[in-house]
Amino acid sequence: MAARTGPNAIAPQPDPNGSTDRRLTGRAVLLYVLAFFGVIVGVNLVMMKLAIDTMPGLEVDSSYRAGNAYNAEIAAARGQSAREWQVAGHLRRDADGRAFLEVQARDRGGAPLTGLGFSAHLERPIDKRADRSVVLREQGVGIYRGEAENLAPGQWDLVLEAERGSERLFLSKNRVELK
C-alpha cells in the first residue's frame, strides 16, 4: 500500500505519554554490549586485586625440603606401625576448665613402655590461638600424666608424641570432645 500524500494524508499522532519514538540502532547495541562487558571486567579486576592483597603467601618455602620431610614422615610411620605399640589416652575436663590427660603405653607383648618422653598438644580445629601444650610426666610404669588449664568444652584434636632421645617413636592425632 502506498503512503498517502496531500491534504487527505494522515499526520503522525503524538504519543499520549509524551514520549518520542526511539529506534534501537546498531550504535546503541554496541554501546550496551561494551558497557555490560566493561562492568564484568571491572568487577573481575577488583576481585583479583582483593584476592592477591589478602593472600597470606607461600605455604612452604621449599617444596623440595617439604617433599623430603614428607618422605621422612612416611618412614617414621612405617617404623611406628612395625613396633605395634598400644597407646591409649584418656582425657577428662573439670567444671572449672582444667583438663587431665593420662596416657598408657604398652609394647606389642603388652609390657609397659618406660623411659619415653611423651608430649601432648590439644589443638582447637576452629581456632589455632586456643591450642594448648600438655607436659606429660611418667607417674607409673608405662603411665604418663599431665594437665592443662582453661580448656573450653567442645571438639579438640589430641596429638600425642613419644620420643626417646631425639628420635620420635610414636605419633597419633585423634579428635576428642570435652564436655
pLDDT digits (tens, 9 = 90+) for 21-73: 678 999 999 999 999 999 999 999 999 999 888 876 666 778 888 888 899 89
pTM over 0.85: no
pLDDT given at position 119: 92
Low-confidence ranges of the chain (pLDDT < 50): none
Contacts 24+ apart (CB under 8 A), 75-79: 76/168, 76/171, 77/171, 79/169
Amino acid 44 reads N
3-state secondary structure at position 16: coil
Q: Please say which residue of 37, 53, 69 terminates a domain.
A: 53
Q: What is the pLDDT of residue 42?
A: 98
Residue 97: its pLDDT value, please?
A: 82
Range of the domain at 34: 25-53
Q: How many CA atoms lie within 13 A of 108 on its CB side?
A: 5
SS3 content of the chain, % helix, strand, coil (to 5): 30, 35, 35
In a domain, 110, yes or no: yes
CA atoms within 13 A on the CB side of 162: 26
* One domain, residues 120 and 40: no
Does residue 137 sit in the same domain as residue 93? yes
The answer to whether residue 66 is domain-embedded is no
